[in-house]
Amino acid sequence: MPRVMLLIPSTTYRAPDFIEAAQHLDVEIVVGSDQGSPLQNLTEGRSLVVNLMEPEAGARQIEAFALLNPIDTIVAVDDAGALVAAAASEMLGIAHNSFDAVEATRNKHLLRRRLTQGELLSPDYRVVAVDADPATVAAELAAQGGFPCVVKPLSLSGSRGVMRANDAESFVAAFERLRGILSDPEVSEDCGDTAGEVLIEGYIPGVEVSMEGLLEGGELHVLALFDKPDPLEGPFFEETIYVTPSRLSSQVQDEISEVVERAARAIGLDDGPIHAELRVNDDGVWPIDIAARSIGGLCSRTLSFVSGSLEDLILRHATGAGIPSYERTGAASGVMMIPIPVGGTLDAVSGVEEAEAVTGVSEVEISIRPGQRVVPLPEGDEYLGFIFAQGPSPDVVEAALREAHATLRFDIS
């Protein structure tokens, strides 16, 4: 029985889905997390507290653990464990993407540099110190025709801290707001060395899509291409609806696949799951972000395959079990990540039963409980929950998600 170490941050939603997949496949799971379990002493050799903030330190912990409790492979469930998994795999001689390649997916400056060097479509960009004078930077951008632009932290995910600026005034406001986000001690710790810098890049107009894929020896197997029907034009970039299959033409879809494979090659990725965000306009396909992991949150529940769930496919690949088929089941599916409208305390949620009764809706999962604080983008990093739907076409699925969302009511004080 293969032994797989899953690096699972305590904040992730996906642990149960991976554990269920492991049970399907007769795979023994070793849990590596940033927090211990009350049952840890009862599961000797099956769990480990891992420093997910410092890749080398975390990798050394895994290396020491593996000397007494051998593992066959390491799978990072979320961004937080990606660098640790790469570093530990190198130490243990386990096949994995290189640390250098994974690092480029966790640092937007390195990523933009690799994509530009790989001759993929890429906007003009610059990196400035977080303590730079935003008015001076704005004046330089204005002189160079650099508006509109997007201000980004180097290593936060989920569009957190990402803001569009159309002119000098909005740039100064966005820069100062991002500086405030990065000065938060918890955020600064998460970002590490990158907390001291800000990426500024040209705004790319067009429709946005997301691709889920699996790399095998550099070859891309496309698992799903999601449309994002809600325009993402700023000032913030909160994602809401994902629907697959895409309604773009087959020619454009083929071009997107080619660009993702080229982007992976430019970064140095050749193995395992890949999640890509791209924009499409008259000039072509522009990679926005590339991650060496699968889709985040609970969104993987949107996908099912002849060979099982997305987690099944990832574990099959990681253990070398082989994937009989990459074919998806069902006609169309989608998810809505329920946005947080205002900050405050979530007092109550209603309308869930009505949402679940909408034709095509398969599940409504409210992930934030009453009494918890809620923070919208760009400061926040969570959604209120997820709505899942299936149907005969993407249009029907999208309509079901919107109808279900309209029935939900969130009391926030």
pLDDT digits (tens, 9 = 90+) for 106-124: 999 999 999 999 999 999 9
pLDDT digits (tens, 9 = 90+) for 265-299: 999 999 999 999 999 999 999 999 999 999 988 89
Range of the domain at 59: 3-104
In a domain, 247, yes or no: no
In a domain, 251, yes or no: no
* CATH number of the domain where residue 156 is located: 3.30.1490.20
In a domain, 312, yes or no: no
Helix, strand, coil distribution of the chain in percent, nearest 5: 35, 30, 35
- CA-CA-CA-CA torsion sign (291, 29, 271, 323): negative
CA distance linking residue 262 with residue 114, whole number of Å: 11
Q: Are 237 and 277 in contact (CB under 8 A)?
A: no
In a domain, 20, yes or no: yes
In a domain, 210, yes or no: no
| Residue 174 token pair | 């966005």
What are the start-end ranges of the H helices in 144-292?
A: 168-183, 185-191, 250-267
Mean pLDDT of 387-396: 98
Residue 11 shares a structural domain with residue 89: yes
Percent of the chain with pLDDT strictly greater than 70? 98
pLDDT digits (tens, 9 = 90+) for 166-204: 999 999 999 999 999 999 998 998 888 899 999 999 999
Q: Are 322 and 408 in contact (CB under 8 A)?
A: no
**What is the overall mean pLDDT for the chain?**
95
pLDDT beyond 90 at 71: yes
> What's the gap between Cα 173 and its chain centre?
26
CA distance linking residue 78 with residue 57, whole number of Å: 18
In a domain, 380, yes or no: yes
Residue 26 shares a structural domain with residue 86: yes
* CATH number of the domain where residue 48 is located: 3.40.50.20
pLDDT beyond 80 at 54: yes
Residue 63 shares a structural domain with residue 10: yes
pLDDT beyond 90 at 262: yes
Q: Which of these three, 173, 202, 231, is where a domain ends?
A: 202
Res 37: pLDDT: 58
Q: Could you give the dihedral angle defined by the CA atoms of residues 226, 228, 232 and 238, in that order, rounded to the nearest 10 degrees?
A: -90
pLDDT beyond 60 at 251: yes
pLDDT beyond 50 at 306: yes
In a domain, 94, yes or no: yes
Q: Which of these three, 160, 181, 202, is where a domain ends?
A: 202
CA distance linking residue 57 with residue 19, whole number of Å: 26
Residue 338 shares a structural domain with residue 411: yes
In a domain, 269, yes or no: no
pLDDT digits (tens, 9 = 90+) for 125-153: 999 999 999 999 999 999 999 999 999 99
Q: Which of these three, 104, 132, 165, is where a domain ends?
A: 104
Res 297: pLDDT: 82
Percent of the chain with pLDDT strictly greater than 90? 89
pLDDT beyond 60 at 41: no
Domain tally, the chain: 3
Confidence of residue 43 (pLDDT cuts 50, 70, 90): low
